[in-house]
Amino acid sequence: MFIADLLREKPVTVSCELFPPKCGTAFDNAPEVVERTVALQPDFISVTCSAKAAGNNVEMASHVRACGATPLAHLTCVGASKAGIDEMLDTLTLRRIHNLLALRGDIPADGPAERGYTYASELVSHIKARGDFSVGAACYPEGHVESAGLEQDLVHLRAKVDAGADFLITQMFFDNNILYRFLYKALAHGVNVPVLAGVMPVTNRSQIERILKLSGTTLPPRFLNILDRFGDSPIAMRQAGVAYATEQIIDLIANGVRGVHIYTMNHPEIAGEIMHNIRYIVEAGCEAQHVQRNVG
Catalytic residues, by residue number, are 17
Q: How far apart are CA 169 and CA 53, in angstroms?
A: 21
* 126 sits near ligand FAD (criterion: CB under 6 A): no
Binding residues among 84-103 for ligand FAD as defined by CB under 6 A: 101, 103
Kindly tell me which of 194 and 198 has the beta carbon lying closer to ligand FAD.
198
Piece of the chain touching ligand FAD by CB under 6 A; list 119-127, 199-207, 222-230, 248-256: 119-127
- Select the residue interacting with ligand FAD from 16, 43, 44, 153 (CB under 6 A): 153
- Residue (65 or 160) nearer to ligand FAD, CB: 160
Q: For residues 81 and 147, which CB has a smaller minimum distance to ligand FAD in the complex?
A: 147
Q: How far is the CB of 151 from ligand FAD (least distance, A)?
A: 10
- For residues 95 and 156, which CB has a smaller minimum distance to ligand FAD in the complex? 156
From CA 257, how far away is CA 182, in angstroms rounded? 12
> Rule CB under 6 A: is residue 204 a binding residue for ligand FAD?
no
- Closest alpha carbon to 130 in 70, 78, 81, 87: 87
Question: For residues 115 and 152, is the Cβ–Cβ distance under 8 A?
Answer: no
Query: x/- site string to ligand FAD, residues 58 to 77, per CB under 6 A?
Result: ----------------x-x-
- 166 binding ligand FAD? (CB under 6 A): no
Q: Which stretch binds ligand FAD (CB under 6 A): 143-151, 179-187, 224-232, 264-272?
A: 143-151
Q: Does 105 bind ligand FAD (CB under 6 A)?
A: yes
Beta carbons of 257 and 289 less than 8 angstroms apart: no
Query: Are the C-beta atoms of residues 253 and 260 closer than 8 Å to each other?
Result: yes
- Sequence-ordered list of residues with C-beta below 8 angstroms from that of 99, at least 6 positions apart, any chain: 2, 3, 44, 70, 71, 72, 73, 133, 134, 135, 136
Query: In one letter, which amino acid is 270?
Result: I
Binding of ligand FAD by 144 (CB under 6 A): yes
Cite the DSSP H helix spans in the chain.
3-9, 30-38, 56-66, 82-94, 120-130, 150-162, 176-188, 205-215, 221-230, 234-254, 268-277, 279-295
Residues engaged in binding ligand FAD (CB under 6 A): 48-50, 74, 76, 101, 103-106, 119-121, 138, 144, 146-147, 153, 156, 159-160, 169, 171, 198
